[in-house]
């Protein structure tokens, strides 16, 4: 049974990815999230979807997208294993470095995507966004008023003009903010990936998976005379 456990443990490690590959895989998923979030006006018709769905989408899309990017960065760090080992460097240090690299790659891919999409929204898609804002704002305000009517002391509600203004397309000067967001995301996700690497090293992933893989055990068995334990 111990041999079977080590055998399964080895296969789990062999399923892990290099830091760059893990970053690109989960970064591609994050790109899909970014495109769906930022180009929603291309496939959402405010007159066709329920008012509460539209209101929630516009009210929480940024927070949900950021949470998705963070989650995907953490997944990339969890699926990473060092591929370039150095006998003079502890494996835990390599794990921390490569987990941080994988999460940073996710952040950079998302940041570049958001930079390009911001440029497109400020130029090519500006008219479509204005039309979307003009159609969506009355529906959002109507739903907010309906919900506020159920409260005994409702808060002040934004007007249709204020909601429409908040949905307007970005301008070209917002590209500078996109670059700042890219750097900030890379720092935050890189730090989160490093924390994941440190935790993996502290709780069971501190050994080189090559030492745990079934193929390595088979090569070593004739030399040390180990036999599988039932």
Q: Domain spans of the chain? A: 2-224
Average pLDDT for 129-138: 96
Which tokens in the block code for residue 171? 């301008």
What's the CA gap between 141 and 119, in Å, rounded?
A: 29
Length of the chain: 230
pLDDT score of 16 more than 90: no
- Taking only the tens place, the pLDDT of each residue in 80-130 is 998 887 788 888 999 999 999 999 999 999 999 999 999 999 999 999 999
Q: Is the separation of the CB atoms in 95 and 200 below 8 Å?
A: yes
Which range has the worst mean pLDDT, 41-55, 75-89, 166-180?
Answer: 75-89
Task: Say what the pLDDT of residue 89 is.
Answer: 85
> Residue 63: which of 28, 29, 33, 105 has the closest Cα?
33
Task: Say what the pLDDT of residue 83 is.
Answer: 83
3-state secondary structure the chain: CHHHHHHHHHHHHHCCECHHHHHHHHHHHHHHHHHHHHCHHHCCCCCCCCHHHHHHHHHHHHHHHHHHHHHHHHHHHHCECCCCCCCCCCHHHHHHHHHHHHHHHHHHHHHHHHHHHHHHHHCCCHHHHHHHHHHHHHHHHHHHHHHHCCCCCCCCCCCHHHHHHHCCCCCCCHHHHHHHHHHHHHHHHHHHHHHHHHHHHHCCCCCCHHHCCHHHHHHHHHHHCCCCCC
Task: Say what the pLDDT of residue 68 is.
Answer: 97
Q: Count how many Cα atoms sit within 13 Å of the Cα of residue 178 in the half-sphere of its side chain.
A: 23
Give every CB contact of residue 151 below 8 A, 6+ residues apart in sequence: none
Task: Say what the pLDDT of residue 159 is.
Answer: 93
pLDDT score of 211 more than 60: no
């Amino acid at each position: 049974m111990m041999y079977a456990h080590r055998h399964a443990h080895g296969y789990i490690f062999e399923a892990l990815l290099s830091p760059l590959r893990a970053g690109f895989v989960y970064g591609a998923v994050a790109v899909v999230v970014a495109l769906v979030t930022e180009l929603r006006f291309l496939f959402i018709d405010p007159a066709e979807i329920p008012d509460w769905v539209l209101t929630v989408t516009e009210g929480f899309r940024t927070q949900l997208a950021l949470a998705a990017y963070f989650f995907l960065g953490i997944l990339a760090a969890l699926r990473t294993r060092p591929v370039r080992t150095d006998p003079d460097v502890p494996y835990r240090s390599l794990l921390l470095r490569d987990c941080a690299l994988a999460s940073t790659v996710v952040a950079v891919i998302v940041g570049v995507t958001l930079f390009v999409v911001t440029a497109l929204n400020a130029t090519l898609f500006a008219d479509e966004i204005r039309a979307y804002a003009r159609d969506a704002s009355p529906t959002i305000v109507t739903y907010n008023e309906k919900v506020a009517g159920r409260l005994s002391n409702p808060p002040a509600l934004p007007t249709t003009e204020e909601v429409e203004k908040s949905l307007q397309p970005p301008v070209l000067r917002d590209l500078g903010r996109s670059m700042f967001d890219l750097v900030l995301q890379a720092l935050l996700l890189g730090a989160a990936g490093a924390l994941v690497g440190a935790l993996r090293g502290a709780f069971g992933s501190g050994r080189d998976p090559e030492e745990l893989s079934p193929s390595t055990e088979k090569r070593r068995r004739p030399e040390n005379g180990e036999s599988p334990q039932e």
